[in-house]
Amino acid sequence: MNGSIEIRNAVVSDAKEISELVLENALALLKPYYSDEQWNVFARYYSVDEMEGKLKKEATFCAVKDDRIVGTVSLKDDFVLGFYTRLQHLKQGIGKTLMDHLEAFALDRGISELQLAASPIGLSFYYKYGWEKIRDFTAEHFGVGFEETLMRKKLALV
């Protein structure tokens, strides 16, 4: 692929590579903010088995560069989930490319507003690209709370 980025639909066989990407990113960027209990739940939430289930229920996209998944994002109804970029590919436009693709996908399906739960580390990205804060809240996963910011973005027809 000569270094270019391709966005494609994820398939169940991508679960292992997506799980590894998410956990590698989160280990470096999120784990310092999590308790051991939160980290264990996060790792379980993005395990290969859980990812396989998510890939069957959510519209998931992968950014691929040189035959390697370098970013991922999912959409379930109007909610954006699992938005991560491989560490060595941060700040190269991959996240924006993935989000643009997801927004176009949503618009094609008649979805005019998206929501997501942002971790504190992702807020600056979302604000930069037109997301608005709705409120802070505690998200529960496997009975453990995570401090998040609920955000929304109204999508415009291009």
Q: Which domain holds residue 68?
A: 5-154
Among the listed residues 24, 22, 95, the one whose alpha carbon sits nearest the alpha carbon of residue 63: 95
Supply the pLDDT for residue 1.
Answer: 38
The CATH number covering residue 75 comes to 3.40.630.30
pTM, two decimals, is 0.92
Q: Number of structural domains, the chain? A: 1
Query: What's the mean per-residue pLDDT of the chain?
Result: 94
For the chain, residues with pLDDT lower than 50 are 1-2
Residue-wise pLDDT for 62-98, tens only, equals 999 999 999 999 999 999 999 999 989 988 999 999 9
Supply the pLDDT for residue 56.
Answer: 94
